[in-house]
Chains A and B, each alone.
Chain A
């Protein structure tokens, strides 16, 4: 059937269709979205009313009721802080997360450079070897690590924890950086080499600056992973001096019958502040980080 483009009805129809497509779709969608969001955020609401309650108030009032005063948070923080030694644990986790993420990304970057920018014989084999490290569930590492650490005297030590975090955090960044380094044009480093730069110079001043985006995103992801870890620290370093913040938090939760949910929930909030703050401030990099694994 031929279309008569002079047909006014047809043109009107097209215009109408176009307008419908242009209109911000579904104003009515706002309702389900808002309802869903509220339901979704209820646990956060619970968190924020609970941290302002005393233990007695928590026991007597409804769990979703608003607190009568904001003052109890001070005591809740003090209790959580002193009973679970959150300060020490937070410092431990911060050092594991910062140093561990930095080292693992650095090692991964160096390896990715070696595999993509130098004519490494058997590069694929080496890559597969390291990539194997992402295949196994963590449960397969635990018992041997515990006893290996016992033999080496790394158990309950800061260094021991750091080493395992660095190792765990290498394979994924390597996968990502291998891709992004191969995307950098060859001329960049060839030019530097011709001018007599060492491979190390090429790596540091040519390749790394060309990949700061993925590097920062990877650092953030690994930082978050280490900060959030419970499993490794609970087994390899549960001493107060070296344990991670999540182990400290878990020691508080559901164990002492005398500590109210208000204190535990406050500790939960404290232990989440660093990663949530990082997420809010560096959201762009987080979201970029999500895309890294897909390419």
Chain B
């Protein structure tokens, strides 16, 4: 009997202590682990403004974070703040009614000169803004300056031929030309969408609205180029889960990614503008218009939380100020686009100028543009190809993607 008593006491004790730890704090949820110090800085200041404390909680990788948020939303347990995506992802979210309309705060921020009306459109659905900008990034190719020097490459490539020639030189110099991870459950789309974009920007857009098939000629071409590049040994081992490892340890010479990543390269010991620089990815053929992908990530505020605590408005306003932008920039070198704030590092500044000069066609990322219901299924097929880059897998991935795509648009 003493065993049973012990068990009962133990159970009671742990039940009581588990119960007391259950207190509801205001929390910002995010899948952006690398930015945690910056987000924490912004949210600490915002919390102080609102007379409360706001914790930051990471859930990674991205696909798990999405699942977590979906169940939280369905479970009517929406965190006060959370990071999200713009485009289709945001309109789907807004349709649930959990996102707060942030028009008054944006009006004030624009009046104060912090942001522009064009920037508001990045996070707007039907003309109303539903997010505070956390990150506005250009998608560029980062390159290791030492590697380019060692391979005898004087200037970054401006055409696809030059890029391929440089890749061969880098390969000869002992580098893997491109870092291409599959980690986080989303990264496989990067090269897929880039190669379609390089083939035809219109087809790239068409992929996301059902007008272009995933086994059509543009996609066929993209997979062919992609497979050839794999055959030549241009890409790093896709199984590595630390996405930047091969770039920062000098194995890979180039990395196609949003320029928000420059901060984590810097954190790993590479100096922006010196150890690494950037160039715009050229189109596959000269007759195709050059395009750049612009990514904008919002922080969404729960409508419920904002309604329950009017002081949270002060927090939102603080998140849109220049101080917040600078705090984010100095902590993790992520730029949220605030016009009064300085670009956090030389690379981001250079990219701004580069884009302003080249005037490429600016496009929303495939990730944000594609219907969220089929996003994950399509990325999985791309990832399968990266792990086994053969023509057979390419054919299988394409037919799988098109089956999913066709099914979605037929039943929409």
Q: Are any A and B Cβ atoms less than 8 Å apart in their complex?
A: yes
**Chain A: residues with CB nearer than 8 A to chain B?**
88, 91-92, 94-95, 98-99, 102, 146-147, 149-150, 155-158, 216, 219, 235, 238-242, 251, 254-258
A91 touches B75 (CB 8 A): no
Q: A99-B11, A102-B7, A256-B60 are in contact. Are A238 and B71 (CB under 8 A)?
A: yes
> What are 25 A-B pairs with beta-carbon distances under 8 A?
A88-B21, A92-B18, A94-B10, A95-B11, A95-B17, A98-B7, A102-B8, A102-B11, A146-B71, A146-B74, A146-B75, A149-B75, A150-B76, A150-B77, A155-B75, A158-B15, A158-B19, A216-B3, A241-B22, A256-B33, A257-B183, A257-B241, A257-B242, A257-B243, A258-B33
Q: A146-B71, A216-B3, A255-B60 are in contact. Are A241 and B21 (CB under 8 A)?
A: yes
Q: A98-B7, A98-B14, A99-B15 are in contact. Are A257 and B245 (CB under 8 A)?
A: yes
CA distance A12 to B243 in the complex (A): 76
A255 touches B75 (CB 8 A): no
Q: Write out the residue numbers on chain B whose beta carbons fall within 8 Å of the beta carbon of A157.
A: 22
Q: Does chain A have a CB within 8 A of B57? A: yes
B57 touches A240 (CB 8 A): yes
Interface string of B55-85 (1 = CB under 8 A from A): 0010111001000100100111100000000
Q: Which residue of A lies closest to B75 (CB)?
A: A155
Q: Write out the residue numbers on chain B whose beta carbons fall within 8 Å of the beta carbon of A216.
A: 3
Q: Write out the residue numbers on chain B whose beta carbons fall within 8 Å of the beta carbon of A254.
A: 241
Interface size class of B (residues with CB under 8 A): 20 to 34
Q: Write out the residue numbers on chain B whose beta carbons fall within 8 Å of the beta carbon of A94.
A: 10, 14
The contact of B68 among A88, A238, A257, A258, by CB within 8 Å, is A238
Q: Which residue of B lies closest to A99 (CB)?
A: B11
A158 touches B11 (CB 8 A): no
Give chain B's interface secondary structure class. Answer: helix
Of residues 128 through 161 on chain B, the ones whose CB sits less than 8 Å from some CB of chain A are none
**Closest Cβ–Cβ distance, residue A257 to chain B (whole Å):** 4
Q: Write out the residue numbers on chain A whose beta carbons fall within 8 Å of the beta carbon of B7.
A: 98, 102, 219
Q: Which residue of A lies closest to B240 (CB)?
A: A257
CA distance A157 to B14 in the complex (A): 15
Interface string of B14-52 (1 = CB under 8 A from A): 110111011100000000010000000000000000000
Question: In the complex, which of the residues A95, A240, A242, A254 has the most CB atoms of chain B within 10 Å of its own CB atom?
Answer: A95
Interface string of B254-272 (1 = CB under 8 A from A): 0000000000000000000
A147 touches B74 (CB 8 A): yes
**Closest Cβ–Cβ distance, residue B251 to chain A (whole Å):** 14
**Closest Cβ–Cβ distance, residue B311 to chain A (whole Å):** 24
CA distance A229 to B88 in the complex (A): 35
CA distance A155 to B71 in the complex (A): 10
Question: In the complex, which of the residues B7, B11, B74, B183 has the most CB atoms of chain A within 10 Å of its own CB atom?
Answer: B11
Q: Write out the residue numbers on chain A whose beta carbons fall within 8 Å of the beta carbon of B64.
A: 255
